[in-house]
Amino acid sequence: MATALTPVLHLVTCGSVDDGKSTLIGRLLAETGSVPSDQLEYARQTRRGGSTIPVGEIDFSLLTDGLEAEREQGITIDVAYRHMNLPNGRRVLIADAPGHEQYTRNMAVAASNGDVAVLLVDAARGVRKQTHRHLTVCALMGVKTVVIAVNKMDLIDYDFGTFEQLVQEIEATASRLGVPQVVAIPLSAFAGENVTAAATTMPWYTGPHLLEFLSAWVPIADTTAAPFRFPVQFVVRAEGNFRGYAGTVVAGEISPGDEITVADSGRTAIVDRIVTHEKDLPKAVAGQAVTLTLDHEVDVTRGDLLAASGPNLAQPADRFGADLVWLSEEPLAHGRSYLLVSGSRSVPATVTSVRYQLDVESGFEHAARLLNMNDVGRVEIATDKPIPMDPYALCRDTGGFLLVDRVSADTVAAGLVRHVMRRAFNVVPHTYDVDRAARVRLMGHVGKVVWLTGLPGSGKSTIADAAVASLHAMGVHTYVLDGDNVRTGLNKDLGFTPEDRAENVRRVAEVGKLMSDAGLVVLVALVSPYRGDRAAARELFAPGDFLEVYVDTPVEVCAERDPKGLYAKAAAGNLPNMTGRGQVYEVPEHPDLILHGTGDLDATVEQLARVILGE
């Protein structure tokens, strides 16, 4: 993280080979003496097919060559890291992101640590779609300074009008995205103008050349940044009862005598010493790797977050609104459990809903249920246990996370926390004297929810209706929550998009929970096509109080029955969100009971009643 001095500046470069990016980086490296002389010699003597640069002159683009496979394909497919020494002693670590269309994910990697982004634009070709994409990803990943490097000015006769028009267009996008600092430099990487020396060809430009700008850059003051944050990596135990917490200060600063809170547990302690190998420090600031000791024993383990006590403390929460950059070839699976890794912490987590997908070129949000590789989208995430995280805008380290596939161990997504949903922590449930047990005694049976799921027309309502009649005759207190009936009242504001279906399921589950708590046996008849939504419903209940019943009826049979005329409408193209047609139905993996909707109704009802009564 950048400090005032910023000894190491993290630079991300974006743009495609066609924009002249390799040439720009190559020239920067060569002209700052950051390339060994034998590699310069290689760039003088080697020529790629089609190159017009005479042998003996440096082909700057060759200095940034990477892997063999790429060289054959002539493209750059992965992020390359290079260093550059500026004349004032500053080190620049360049994360060079490929400009190719499909590699949003590589852009995101490169931008994740970036202090400054250099966004290349070809002056002759103007602003392109990818320019907006690069800008969007940089803004998303929290890059605060964007340098628009308008390259190939020599090809447009150094025309100020063209430059200005182009810059205005990009600045409009940058401003919509909330990038705090944007500067534009007209240059020619090929001719070496305004790269490491001022150009004489553009007297209308009086700003710094690129190297000058990078040397003089200081981070813009950020008053919203998080105070002290210290994720514990390692508990150090040594002779003499030494117990210290090793980690890196990722935000703010700390001194002995300061109070910290273990954000996970809410316990507080005073920092006793800041230990390093050589000596104790009077203060540690962001970026320093130290070991802290506390004034008294507190329960702290690897993954815990030590934070400044006070109003800006990160509170543990188990629901987050987050942006995901999807990295894996396997699309995001709704309701699947992943490992959420943030700093040194790792907890199981589920994506409970996809709110929208972001078009990184136009900036528009549109409805989506899936995220594919290189997609960016807003989702809701539920973690298995509450963890303290910050909004990403406050701190990249405590607001960013990875999603890891639990089988392949691949990193499938990078996530940025946008909202911490901590409302559940502000509400303290009241405990009543007449409780569930008292009601069970009065009713003579326990309340539960029996969740019938299946395709439209599979027979859920018919089965529920018959089962309730049968149970009622036996003196069981019942109620049916039928999908269509609920949608005429409680849920009449909801449609049939995946997000609305998720909310529909959530509300029905909550109502079912209240009713079963009151002692009723509640039969829910709801298509509820998504596993994730059904799993979230089940999580509300104690084991045994929620029965998932899959009404398994072949789709052809459902379509033939078509009691509500839905299949006919879908066939006519009038029902795009119809489950089993336009949207998928995710068959339950481990239902408590499978009923065949084509079987004899009486036998089916008897089978169901027995399971409900626990016989």
Partner 1 sequence: MTDLTVPYVAVLDELEAEAIHIYRETAAAFRNPVLLYSIGKDSSVLLHLALKAFAPAALPFPVMHVDTTWKFREMIEFRDLRAQQLGLDLRIAKNEVAMAEGVTPFTHGTHEYTRLMKTVALREGIDKYGFDAAIGGARRDEERSRAKERIFSLREPGHRWDPRKQRPEFWRTANTTLSEGQSMRVFPLSNWTELDVWRYIQREDIPIPSLYYAKPRPVVERDGVLIMVDDERFPLRPGEQAQMRSVRFRTLGCYPLSGAVESTADNIADLIAEMESSNVSERAGRLIDGEGGSSMESKKAEGYF
- Which residues inside 39-98 make contact with partner 1, applying CB under 8 A? 39, 42, 64-69, 71, 78-83, 86, 88-91, 93
By CB under 8 A, name the one of 206, 223, 224, 239 that touches partner 1.
239
Distance CA(397)–CA(225), nearest Å, equals: 12
**Residue 248 touching partner 1 (CB under 8 A):** yes
By CB under 8 A, name the one of 149, 182, 324, 339 that touches partner 1.
339
Which has the closest alpha carbon to 305: 403, 226, 211, 216? 226
**Residue 221 touching partner 1 (CB under 8 A):** no
By CB under 8 A, name the one of 197, 216, 424, 514 that touches partner 1.
216
CB 248, min distance to partner 1, A: 5
Please say which residue, 93 or 494, places its beta carbon nearer to partner 1.
Answer: 93
Q: Tell which positions 100-159 bind partner 1, by CB under 8 A.
A: 105-106, 108-109, 112-113
By CB under 8 A, name the one of 242, 348, 419, 484 that touches partner 1.
242
CB 537, min distance to partner 1, A: 29
Q: Which residues pair with 349 in a beta bridge?
A: 338, 383
Distance CA(548)–CA(527), nearest Å, equals: 12
CB 42, min distance to partner 1, A: 8
Q: Tell which positions 402-421 bind partner 1, by CB under 8 A.
A: 402, 404, 407-411, 414
CB 83, min distance to partner 1, A: 6
**Residue 505 touching partner 1 (CB under 8 A):** no
Please say which residue, 29 or 547, places its beta carbon nearer to partner 1.
Answer: 29
Which has the closest alpha carbon to 592: 457, 477, 450, 460? 450
Distance CA(137)–CA(207), nearest Å, equals: 26
539: number of Cβ within 10 Å = 13
**Residue 220 touching partner 1 (CB under 8 A):** no
Distance CA(512)–CA(516), nearest Å, equals: 6
For residue 272, CA distances in Å to 14, 269, 306, 320, 325 come to 45, 9, 14, 34, 40
Distance CA(533)–CA(73), nearest Å, equals: 44
By CB under 8 A, name the one of 36, 56, 311, 543 that touches partner 1.
36
DSSP letter, residue 315: P
By CB under 8 A, name the one of 7, 207, 495, 544 that touches partner 1.
7
414: number of Cβ within 10 Å = 22
**Residue 26 touching partner 1 (CB under 8 A):** no
By CB under 8 A, name the one of 192, 287, 386, 591 that touches partner 1.
287
**Residue 237 touching partner 1 (CB under 8 A):** yes
- Respond yes or no: is residue 528 known to be catalytic: yes
Stretch that binds partner 1, among 211-219, 499-507, 508-516, 554-562 (CB under 8 A): 211-219
CB 590, min distance to partner 1, A: 24
Ramachandran region of residue 206, left (φ > 0), alpha (ψ -120 to 50) or beta?
Answer: alpha
Please say which residue, 402 or 587, places its beta carbon nearer to partner 1.
Answer: 402
Please say which residue, 280 or 539, places its beta carbon nearer to partner 1.
Answer: 280
Please say which residue, 13 or 604, places its beta carbon nearer to partner 1.
Answer: 13
Q: Tell which positions 531-560 bind partner 1, by CB under 8 A.
A: none
Interhelix angle 37-45/21-31, nearest 10 degrees: 140
**Residue 219 touching partner 1 (CB under 8 A):** no
Stretch that binds partner 1, among 197-205, 210-218, 451-459, 517-525 (CB under 8 A): 210-218
Please say which residue, 218 or 270, places its beta carbon nearer to partner 1.
Answer: 218
Please say which residue, 108 or 135, places its beta carbon nearer to partner 1.
Answer: 108
**Residue 288 touching partner 1 (CB under 8 A):** yes
Which has the closest alpha carbon to 64: 13, 106, 108, 101? 13
Instruction: Decide: 376 and 360 in contact? Cβ < 8 Å.
Output: yes
Q: Tell which positions 355-394 bind partner 1, by CB under 8 A.
A: none
Distance CA(212)–CA(199), nearest Å, equals: 13
Interhelix angle 460-473/601-612, nearest 10 degrees: 60
- Which of 22, 188, 461, 528 is catalytic? The answer is 528
Please say which residue, 194 or 291, places its beta carbon nearer to partner 1.
Answer: 291
Token pair of 478, please?
């019942």
**Residue 397 touching partner 1 (CB under 8 A):** yes
CB 7, min distance to partner 1, A: 4
**Residue 401 touching partner 1 (CB under 8 A):** yes
Which has the closest alpha carbon to 459: 606, 530, 563? 563
Instruction: Decide: 235 and 245 in contact? Cβ < 8 Å.
Output: yes
For residue 280, CA distances in Å to 230, 241, 244, 272 come to 17, 17, 12, 10
Distance CA(389)–CA(379), nearest Å, equals: 16
**Residue 27 touching partner 1 (CB under 8 A):** no
Distance CA(59)–CA(54), nearest Å, equals: 9
Please say which residue, 248 or 607, places its beta carbon nearer to partner 1.
Answer: 248
CB 59, min distance to partner 1, A: 14
Q: How many residues touch partner 1 (CB under 8 A)? A: 77
CB 387, min distance to partner 1, A: 14
Distant-in-sequence contacts of 509-515, Cβ < 8 A, 24+ apart: 509/449, 509/536, 509/537, 509/540, 510/540, 511/481, 511/486, 512/449, 512/451, 512/481, 512/537, 513/449, 513/540, 513/541, 515/447, 515/449, 515/479, 515/481
Catalytic residues: 528
